[in-house]
Structure formats: C-alpha cells, structure tokens
Amino acid sequence: MTATNEMIPVNASYASLASRTLDCIATCGSSGGYIAPPIVPFCTDVSASVGTTVGQRLDTVSIQTGSDFAVGFNDSSWRELAQGTGAPWSIATRINLIPRSDTGFYNNAPVATMMSPVNIVKDQPTIIKIPIGDADGDDLRCRWSTSTSGIDECGGTCPPNSLPANTTIFPNCTIIITGTIVDKWYAITLMVEDFISSSSMTPLSATPVQFLVHVVAPPLCSIPPKITGVPIEQSCTPILVGQTFTSILYAKNSCGSNVTIVDIATLSYAGVLKSSITVLNETTYYKDFSWTPTAAQVGYQVVCAMAFDSQDSQSSQYCFKFYVSVLGVCVCPEHRLLVPQDLLQRVQRRQPLVPHLVQQRQLQAHRLLQQLRRRHHHHHHQQHLQQPLPRLQRLQALQRRPQQRQLQQRQQ
C-alpha cells in the first residue's frame, strides 16, 4: 500500500490555500530572484485507523549566490488549543546562499522530522526527542520559536506561554513536557539551527519544527506499544540514488489479547512503499517498507513511525535517517570523523576546496572502509554461520557490522 503521492485536495473551507505561496518575509532585497512556490503538499502517508494524512512538497527554485533572506507562511488558525481558539499559525525558515567561511561551499540546512500528534499521559513527565540531521556534520541546536527578531516563527503559539508550566527544551533537541488536564491540545513550535562549531554563536540557517501534543487519560494497561526493526532507531544508512532499500518494522503489544495494534503510522516522503499492517502473532505486528531514492532526494531523508493500539496508546516515535548520494558515500556525515583526518589534511594541502574535491574524498574514504570490511569479513562470516539469528536480529546485526568495524579501526 502506498499513499497517492498526488496533491492533497483543498475543500471549500480552505479554498484560498490553493493559491497561497511560501513568500519572502524578511530581507527580501537580497532574495536573489526567488519565486515563491505553492504551499499545498502532495500526499505521502495515510493512516485511516489513526485519522491522519501526511503531505510533503519539494520544489526547485533558482536563487543567486550571496542571497540571504527568510521565507514563511501564516494563516489562521490552529485547531482549538488549551490556550483558546483561533491561534494564528506562522512558520518561517531562512535561506542562506552565502558560501561557508570554512569550506567555501553552500551550507546544507538541518533536517528534522516529527510526527503529530504526540499523546502524553496526564501528570506524567514525557520526554520528546526531535530527530535531526545535517549533511555538513555541523553542530546542531534547538530553541523555541520566537516572534521578536523581526521574523514571526510561531504566530499565536510562541513558547513558553503557549505550553504547560515548566515545559523545557534542551539544545540537543529534547523536550520535557507534563500535561495536567485531559484532552487539552498544545502546539509545539521550535527551530533547529546549525553552527560551524560548538563554540560558534552565529547560526548558518534555521529549520522550523511544529507539531501537536494531546493530553490523554492513563490507559487501563500502562505498557505502551513498542517498535523495533531495521533500520535501527536513530541510525543513519548511506544509500545510492537508484539503489532499492527494503526494511521491516515490528510493533509489539504487551497488554494481552484484549488490546490490539491498529496501525504502524508513518511520516515519510515520496516513493516510500508500505505494506498493510500484518499480524504475526498475538503480540507482534509488522509492516514492510521499500524505497528507491531519486536524484531529487540527494541528502538527508528521515522516516519516522509510531505504533498505535486499540486503547489509544502510542509508542515512542521511532525514527531513522538515510543519506542519499550519487557517488556512493560509505558513511553518513556525522560518522565522517571515523575516516583518518591525516588523509583529509593531505588532500586539503595539495588541492583547493573545489566541488570535485568532495567527490575525491568520498571515493578515498569508500576505498579505505572497503579494505577494513575485507579484513574482517572472514571472521564475521564465520560468526554469522555459527549463530543463526531470527529474521529481525539477523537484519539488525547486518546493519551494525559496518559501524562496529569503523569503531574497531578508530580504537586501533
């Protein structure tokens, strides 16, 4: 089963959205020929059981080098929230095409994905982790959205006044929130910023994240569903354009036969194929996934999933990342420190920082790690034959092995 990948229809109540665009809202004099694209997205995920539809839109816009401006969309309004009805909605991001001072290349903005809504149990402090990634391997930090810097990032839902008392966000993109009234809804609005280094205080760009939180009553069975599978949670998998990736996610029900898993809902992107939910046994359900990335999807792509059961409990968000490349990068940017720095330094001394140098580094790193894999292949192959694993464990073990080999080499 796959979502239609067609434009989400706009009904009469929201007819004006059909002509709305993502407009320049700040420093538009340096917008470098920016033409605002439409905002109506294409359908990528549907869960009839949960009652959610997810859309995504990807547009290519030509902008002049040196441009630095902000774009945004605002309208009315959010659904009814704890703070009242009619809260205006505003979301904004920064587009920066000034070459970086450290590499001379254009910056890649952070990527963040968050499912909505997130159910939190009344009077129980809940930890929400925002999955993030950055193709440049930059230092990433999260902060609450604001409307005081000349750019309205949050409309009528700017924290902390829009959230329960003592709600906290940490720079590592972790939120702690406690709801005290059942069936209240809150809008979480935050920004993910990337910095050249951990000591820098000037962000290169900012990516918005906005989602809903719903306070629910404690369920009869206090054990929520749990997702396991491949790829491993919070992992990053390098993948080539045109290379098909298949995976499987399991949802476990620990509440007995009176409770069932109704769906494994997803937040993905165009081209991800998903099977219907299948019952393996009384406690385990699963979905199969497959995806073949296109050239338009080069860079980070994030998939998230949640399992929902028949008592309206949900699992923690289970997210994993892909890093799509044309050349076949063998590690994701956040793992690039595993490549010996003297190799990169030698290349830097001999040649200027030009685009084709990145390709050379990727190929050199690929050859180096291929040698490491061959060195340890026989040992791991013997171990695999001697200890047969169930399907899920076998897939997880195969994914962990390259990371383990890299760590062993680094320790040597």
What pLDDT digit, counting tens, does each position of 145-177 carry? 999 878 999 999 999 999 999 999 999 999 999
pLDDT at 409 over 60: no
pLDDT score for 352 = 36
Closest CA to 31 of 70, 75, 72: 70
pLDDT at 331 over 90: no
What pLDDT digit, counting tens, does each position of 247-278 carry? 999 999 999 999 999 999 999 988 999 999 99
pLDDT score for 283 = 95
pLDDT score for 327 = 81
Residue 390 buriedness (CB in 10 A; 0-12 / 13-18 / 19+): exposed
CA angle 203, 205, 210 (to 5 degrees): 110
pLDDT at 194 over 50: yes
pLDDT at 349 over 50: no
Block residue for tokens 């993109």: 173
Q: State the pLDDT confidence band at 392, using cuts at 50, 70 and 90.
A: low
pLDDT at 387 over 80: no
How far does the chain reach from its first CA to its final CA, in angstroms? Answer: 47
Summarize the confidence of residues 306-319 as an average pLDDT.
93
pLDDT score for 318 = 94
pLDDT score for 189 = 98
| Extents of the domains making up the chain | 222-326, 333-411
CA dihedral 388, 389, 390, 391 (to 10 degrees): -100
pLDDT score for 362 = 42
pLDDT score for 37 = 95
pLDDT at 287 over 70: yes
Starting at the edge strand found earlier in the chain, the sheet holding 68-76 runs: 23-26, 68-76, 88-96
Q: Percent of the chain beyond pLDDT 90?
A: 59
In 97-138 the beta strands, taken as DSSP E runs, fall at 111-112, 118-121, 126-129, 132-133
What pLDDT digit, counting tens, does each position of 71-87 carry? 999 998 899 999 888 89
pLDDT at 374 over 90: no
pLDDT score for 14 = 74
Q: Percent of the chain beyond pLDDT 70?
A: 79
Tell me the HSE value of 406 on the side-chain side, using a 13 A CA sphere.
21
pLDDT score for 397 = 55
C-alpha to C-alpha distance for 156 and 75, rounded to whole angstroms: 10
CATH for 222-326 is 2.60.40.10
pLDDT score for 366 = 44
pLDDT score for 277 = 95
pLDDT score for 300 = 84
Question: Higher-confidence residue: 50 or 164?
Answer: 164
Summarize the confidence of residues 120-146 as an average pLDDT.
94
pLDDT at 363 over 60: no
Summarize the confidence of residues 38-47 as an average pLDDT.
91
pLDDT at 92 over 70: yes
